Amino acid sequence: MSNKESNKSAIETSQVFFTYPDGHAVLKSVSCNIKHGEKVALIGPNGAGKSTFMSLLNGVSLPTNGQVHINGTRVEKETLVEIRRQIGIVFQDPDDQLFCPTVYDDVAFGPLNLGLPHDEVEKRVKESLALVGLEGFDERSSFHLSFGERKRLALATVLSYRPEILVFDEPSTNMDPLNRRKLINWLKESDKTILLCTHDLDIALEVCDRCILLTDGEIVADDATSKILYDRKLLEANNLELPLALMTHELLNDILKHKDDMNEDHRFIIGNFLHAHRHAHSADGEVHFHVHAHDDHTHTHDHPPHDHDHDHDHDHDHDHDHDHDDKHVAGAHQHLHTKPENR
């Protein structure tokens, strides 16, 4: 959709400060640069300034100091109209975003504000509703939809004005597993620039290549997802914890260390878990998990034992330290023998 040079930034902030009149500083010198087509997770505990950061991106608030550029255009009063058609923000609570009488009106709201002709609006509404799987809901009132449907509808209301950059605030809260999975797949397939503001680290782990960790209004870390989300110490120091998927793996590895104490039940449970886990994740036909079970005690890892990143096209550096004992157990369960072929 965008024919901009790939090296041009989609989102660029330089030394952005945001301070309330009462002196409370929410953002302190935040600088970051997100390129076109990147999928970035903005993570951080409650009150870290994630929401404020988001509201600076499309000029709902303006920074006290510093600059924000979207696609090379500075966010300021004069450029707001232009900025807002390039960046779409999907907020957390769908009820805040669905303020029109019908589903159709809500999706048409953005395109109509752009002043598009009615047949084009019509086309975009149909297209956006189809994208989120809500065809034929046009005349319904959004209030009568289920939460999952409203959440998807909120996304459609943003997609309809075709922003190049999509920003999500806690996209997965209160979603049931099926809808969450659909959302993840959609995010993974999208070719737009995506910024996910979340503390659902599992979704960040699956979707994003890069993570920005924001704490107390400052960027504490900005690196590849594989570096930040595997770093238990860093996360816990910032009131976050390892993604559930990684914790489970740690736990399993822990148990596998004591294979001799393990009885048939344990093996069965672990085996089943891994089996189920693999199926849940194997939509794309890949095998994702790496719990090793072989006798080679001298085996050295050339990839992270927890590597759970689904994006296999990427080469991660695997030099981060694991306090993980590299002792592997044999034959814990049938499934544990499975090793990914592409490594």
Tell me whether residue 83 or residue 336 sits nearer to other proteins (CB atom).
Answer: 83
Tell me whether residue 157 or residue 225 sits nearer to other proteins (CB atom).
Answer: 157
List residues binding other proteins (CB under 8 A): 18-21, 55, 58, 60-65, 76-77, 81, 84-85, 88-89, 91, 93, 95-102, 104-105, 108-110, 112-114, 118, 121-122, 143, 157-158, 161
CB neighbours of 27 closer than 8 A, spacing ≥ 6?
16, 17, 18, 49, 52, 53, 56, 63, 217, 218
Scan for tokens 């994208």, then name that residue: 131
Tell me whether residue 33 or residue 113 sits nearer to other proteins (CB atom).
Answer: 113
Tell me whether residue 91 or residue 230 sits nearer to other proteins (CB atom).
Answer: 91
How far apart CA 97 and CA 150 sit, in angstroms, is 9
Residue 21 C-beta: closest distance to other proteins, Å: 4
CB 286 within 8 A of CB 308: no
Long-range CB contacts (within 8 A, 24+) of 230-233: 230/304, 230/306, 230/320, 231/320
Tell me whether residue 95 or residue 191 sits nearer to other proteins (CB atom).
Answer: 95
Tell me whether residue 143 or residue 265 sits nearer to other proteins (CB atom).
Answer: 143
Q: For residue 248, give the H/E element and its range.
A: helix 244-257
How many CA atoms lie less than 13 Å away from 32 in the CB half-sphere?
28
Residue 123 C-beta: closest distance to other proteins, Å: 12
Residue 108 C-beta: closest distance to other proteins, Å: 6
Residue 173 C-beta: closest distance to other proteins, Å: 14
How far apart CA 170 and CA 43 sit, in angstroms, is 10
Q: At what angle do helices 264-281 and 244-257 cross, to 10 degrees?
A: 150
CB neighbours of 137 closer than 8 A, spacing ≥ 6?
103, 129, 145, 149, 153
First to last CA, the chain: 33
How far apart CA 221 and CA 169 sit, in angstroms, is 19
Residue 192 C-beta: closest distance to other proteins, Å: 16
Please report, for residues 111, 147, 187, the alpha-carbon distance to residue 339 in angstroms, rounded to integers and kept in the order given: 49, 39, 27
CA 228 to chain centre: 14
Residue 326 C-beta: closest distance to other proteins, Å: 49
Residue 186 C-beta: closest distance to other proteins, Å: 20
Q: Which of 204, 94, 60, 171 is nearest to 214 (CA)?
A: 204
Residue 262 C-beta: closest distance to other proteins, Å: 45
Q: Which of 30, 59, 58 is nearest to 42 (CA)?
A: 30
